[in-house]
Structure formats: C-alpha cells, structure tokens
Structure 1
Amino acid sequence: MSVRLWLSIFCISILVAAQAAAQGFAGLGRDASTFSQPERGYAFSFPEDHGAHPDFQIEWWYVTANLTDATGRQMGLQWTLFRSAIAPEEKPGWASPQLWMGHAAVTTEDAHFVTERIARGGVGQAGVTAAPFSAWIDDWHMSGDTLDEVAMRASGPDFGYEVTLSAQGPLIFHGEAGYSQKSASGRASYYYSQPFYTVAGTLFLPEGPVEVTGTAWLDREWASQPLAATQVSWDWFSMVFDDGVRLMGFTLHDEDGSDYTQATWIEPDGTTTAFPDGAFSATALATTDVAGRAVPTKWRAQLPQKGVDVTVEALNGAAWMTTSIPYWEGPVQITGSHSGRGYLEMTGY
C-alpha cells in the first residue's frame, strides 16, 4: 500500500476523532464497549502504569507549570501527550490503531504561544515507555530514569523550552484510590498526579532565552468512556497554595445545565482527602472575549469543608489553545482565604 494511501487513512482517522467531539468533549462520551473499562479496586503498579495502556481508548501525560524569571515576572508552561485508539490493541508499523497528539504552550502576561503535533503509533514517531521513563512525539521529549526526575522539551515556530522537573513528594491518587468518577451514572477514569515537582530551565521566546524556576503538576489519566454522552464541557483547577497545600477540583457540565464535581485536598506531606460531588464549587465572575467566545477567566472557587473561598484569576485571559480541538488553558493567580498560583483548563466554550 502506498505511503500516500496510508497518510490518507491517517487523516481520515483524525477527522473521525474530531467529528466525535459532538458526543461529549472530544468524543469522550462515545461508545467504547470493545475497550477495557476502569474498575474500583485497581492495584496500580509502577513503573508499568507510567507507560501506555493500549487496551483503553484514551490516555494522557499532562504537565502544567507556574514559573518565575529572575525579574519576578510570572509565566506558565504546558506539555501534553495524548493517546487515542481506534481499536483496543497495539500492532507494529502502520497497522497500529494508536493515534498520538502533542500540545505545548508558554503563557506570559501579554503573550500566549501554542503549537501542536500529530502522529500515528507503531512507527516510532510517538510513544511512551515506562522504564526508563520516556514520552515523546517527534523531537518533543519528557524522559528520565524514573518519573521522579525528568527532562522535558518542546518547540514551536516562535517558542520553545528545556526544563528539568524534580519530584519533592509522593504520587497522589484521586477519587477512590485512583478510581475517579466523572458522572452520577458511574463513568470513571484511572487518575493519579505528581503535583510536587520543582522546575528549573530555559524558555526560548522571541525576546531571547529566559531562565525560569517554579513548580509543576503532572496529571496521568486513562479511560475508555469517562464522560456521559450528555456531558459537554468541563473546568479543571489545580491550585498550589503558599502554605504547601495543593487542591485539585473539577466541574463537569451537562447539557441539561446540571454539574458534577470532584476534588482532592493534598497536604504538604502527600496525605489526601477526596471530596464527592457537590463539595467543590466554581462560579464564574468575569469573562474575556477570546477567539470569538466569552470565556470565564475569573472564578470564585469554594471547598467549605476546608475553609477554601478563593478568587482564581487568569494571568492572561487570551490563553486560547488554537489546536485541532480548541480549548482554554493557562496559569492563574489565587487570592482570598488562601493565596497561591495554579492552572486552569476549560473546554466547551
């Protein structure tokens, strides 16, 4: 079969994935009955679970970082590798049903740089190995002997970065020991994080190289059908408070106007408390006009059981990801009952 025909098949696969966005964001609510499904009581195994799970339909390795340069200027960084499967298996070469997509971004107070890569599995262009850990697409890499210490790089037409991440705490498991429910009907994913990274390295911006330090948060998640078919969007918050506490909270929006929420409270030593639907809330306070949309970029986030009542405001309201499936992603500043920095992701706007 000719290379041109293989490329045509690959492009059709990408178009099918994009068209599926109508069924839950990016097709996350579409039928996945032939794939494996998350189950309660799963025994995570490392380093194996840092690697790919081709029998599940979707998976990601998702890093966000809050950074500061030598002058005190605040910035943010994103590095993401997505895996999506059209069949629950892996095959060598062009027969692989695994599709890969990479997103990278840098956000400053007055600029947002973003780029995207797309690859087909099985030919070496993209993939993940567990030991030693390596996640890559083209020349973008996140790799190290273990996930505790990794070097990460990516580049686009007008920016790039090379940074090192060092874990200063344990892995965190969300929901019920890593079984993270996403809907009242029981849809779920496997979900753990490394929210204790420190970061140091260099951003390559149009102004020149910028040395930065800061903190980073890795999310690892895999599933096959994590959203209900009627769930159309979500808002995801990661917060790193100045006292060392971390908080993850998300709100999933249904087409009937109802919401489903979950949250994880993370002590500085890694002790966690999971909060069920309804405990965490996020209320939009102000919007920014971006990409022809009114996107909420200032929020009131509350977790009353922990005394959290904060304002979460975007560093740059124009942090729109102009990727194949567009969304908003950027660094935020936190004030109120707790102060700190974090990241916000919003889809469906």
Structure 2
Amino acid sequence: MSEPGRPASTDEVSSVRLVGLTKKFGAVTAVDGLDLDIADGEFFAMLGPSGSGKTTVLRMIAGFEAPTAGAVLLDGTDVTKTPPFRRDVNTVFQDYALFPHMNLLQNVAYGLRVKGVKPGDRDRQAAQALDQVQLGGMATRRPHELSGGQRQRVALARALINRPRVLLLDEPLGALDLQLRQQMQVELKSIQREAGITFIFVTHDQEEALTLCDRVAVFSQGKIEQVGTGIEVYERPVSRFVANFVGTATVIDGDRARELFGTKESRAIRAEKITLEPGNSDLPELPAGQIGVFGTVAETVFAGIHTRYLVDVAGLMFTVLLANDSRRHGGEIHRGETVRLSWHLDQAVPLRD
C-alpha cells in the first residue's frame, strides 16, 4: 500500500483514486488539489465540519459535480468526464428518496427494472437484498409504514442490489436518533463486510467515523489534514485541527511548551490521558517521565459515564475527562479547588503546527 492519502505506486490499482482534485465555486475553493487512494473493499470515512469539502469530493466521485481540475479514477479508469449513470457507483443520501407509491420490494428492485432485468429475476434478487438488511418479512409494506432506521435499510438494499464497485454514503445516519444511529452503525459495518465492496462514508460525527471505518480522512478547508486508521488519527494527530476536532485535547505551545518539554514545538495531550488529583501538600512526587502542573478547577460538567473538568493553569485551560467510577473512589472535586494535573511525557504528541 502507498502512504496514506497519497497516490499508490504505478503497479497498484485503487478502487478510487483522486489526483489533484480541485473544485471552485466562483472565488471559493471548496476542494484544493486533493490526492487520495482508497483500496478495494475498504470502509473509508471522510470526516470534517460543515464546509470542509468532504461532500463536494463525494459528489465528484459520483459524477454529480465536475472538477475544476484534477481527475477521478475508478479501478484505474479515468471517469472524470463520465456521466453518473455510467459510473459503477451508487449513492445513499441522508434523504433516502424512496418511492412512496411502491412497496419495499418494488423500491429495491427499481434499479434492476431500469436495467431491463426480467421481473422474476429482479424480484428474487430484491427479496434477497431485503433479507440482507433484515427486512425480508416487510416486502409488501410502503415506505410511510416504516421507521427511520428501516427506511435507511431499504435505501441501502436498493443501492447494494446493483452490486456497485463503490457505495457512497452521504451522512445517511444523520436524521436518526442516537440509539438507532448507534444500532445502524453496527449493522452498516456488518453489511459492508458481507457485501465486500468499497464504502465511502461522509460524516461530521467523529465517533461514527472511528466506529465504522478502516481508515479516516480528516478534512479542513478543502484539504485533507490527515489520513490513517482511527487509532492513528486519534492517538497521533498531526495538527492542532485534528487534535481538537477528533476527540478532546489540550494543545500546549510557545513558552509553556518550552517550560514543560524543553522545546517550543506544539504538543497535544488527550483529556483522558491526564490524571487529576486534589492539590494538597501530601501529594507524592511524580515518577520519572511524568509531568505535573497545578491549576484551579474553572468548571465541572457531568456527562454520565464521565465528568469533564476545565482547569485553569496560569491562563492555559486544560480539559480533563475523569470516569465517574474513579471519580467516586477519589471523592468529589469542585469548582474553585486547586488540583494537580499529570501525564506521561510520551502522551504529549508533537504537532506539525
């Protein structure tokens, strides 16, 4: 495999390759010279805030938007000027766009009907597709009789029945409530493994990207900040943006970085990596390799499984997440208290900016 986000070598053929992909809307550059390789059978996430360019990239892969510059290759073939209906990709949108006058079997079979597949064959394949998404007993129902999660599964079955080389998903879980969204995350991963095709998933939800995908590309202002596995992106962010957007981190830079680490190089420390203790005189010395600072608790926020602490350390606000079971063992810590924060030196990750 090539380096994450960079074109593969000439003897490798990616399922999707983007080369110098650029999209401008007037004076606004939505996507800026993007290079990316996505492997065959990979579950790949494009993660970023609104306006970061991820959906525009998805639309250019699908053929719904024409690039201003650059190329889109599917299985090594340049399809930059190929119309959407001639590309071997299907798209599932947040708005599932099911036909209200058709039952589920007819909705799922519609793509095969357009292709001219015989009625008996297309009904059999549609029934199998509904079984695949656990809706086999609902073939005669209409879309209005389904829950949001069931409609989402129908849209997936309709997209998968054509066996596209690539399935594009544009925030398909965004309209679902939290519990159903978490359930569908697990089901989506299972369906992708069973289908064995390339999934490209656009989301602004970091948990969704980390839960579902083999690799994640973090977008910001039309560019990719970092590409890697969920663990790589979370544990070793390369920039301030990634550290702050994926998870919760405190960035230490400038004079404070030189004071603590002996260098002005910016570093990020994850909120859950920090130990928080009441700042009394009986605290033991920290072992070698540990760094400690004292500060004042500015705010506490209870969030169920953990409590979030904002601690002011001489003007720099640290965020600390403390699991509520350990918090109970250590006693309550209140706003205004002096505390000691500590972490291992290796847990402060260097950033390029």
Using the size of structure 1 for normalisation, the TM-score is: 0.27
Using the size of structure 2 for normalisation, the TM-score is: 0.27
Structure with the higher fraction of residues in strand conformation = 1
Structure with the higher fraction of residues in helix conformation = 2
